[in-house]
Amino acid sequence: MWRAGKRLRQNHALEHATIAILRERDPAVRVIARSTSRGFKLYGTAEAEEVRAAVDEALTRLKRGEWRLAVTQQCGTTVAVGVLVGTLGLWLNEFMRSPRQKVALGLATSLAIAFAAQPVGLLAQRHLTTEPQLDGLQVRDVRGRTLGKKNWLEVRTA
């Protein structure tokens, strides 16, 4: 179980780094991705050859210690942190008696989401949802298909 969790976190780091490199090379590239313990899947405008080159460079750069490539503002972890803060605020609101307390807590929760979600989300990525130490991780292949003008690609790791 722990091994699968570590592999998922490594693949998540590799996914972020790959997308960062794709965007360094072509700021117009548009992709969304999802990591698994077996690799990650990309959907968007990047071609398989571009992704393969970017994933190879990402692997090299992460192994050299460029951990910042593994953390991005566009990650769903940031959204999840915002949802968690909002849920906590709603839960606490159930314990407030007066309407003023409820409004004050609602405002405080909104401010907490606005100001804390991104920095806390970045911290969560760095310490919980990504693992930029890619010891033993190798890229097996990049495969997929084109549907219209979009590519569905899978990067498989071992």
Report d(CA 50, CA 100) in Å as an integer: 55
Which residue is associated with the tokens 């794709």?
Answer: 22
DSSP state of 131: -
Residue 118: its H or E element: helix 99-124
pLDDT band at 4 (very low <50, low <70, confident <90, very high): low
* 111-152 confidence digits (pLDDT tens): 988 888 899 999 999 999 999 999 889 999 999 998 888 999
pLDDT band at 9 (very low <50, low <70, confident <90, very high): very high
Domains of the chain: 2-71+130-157 (3.30.980.10), 76-126 (no CATH)
| The two three-digit tokens of residue 115, written as one number | 């100001």
Q: Average of pLDDT values for 80-96? A: 89
Contacts of 148 (CB under 8 A, 6+ apart): none
Per-residue model confidence (pLDDT) at position 1: 46
Report d(CA 93, CA 101) in Å as an integer: 8
Average per-residue pLDDT in the chain? 92
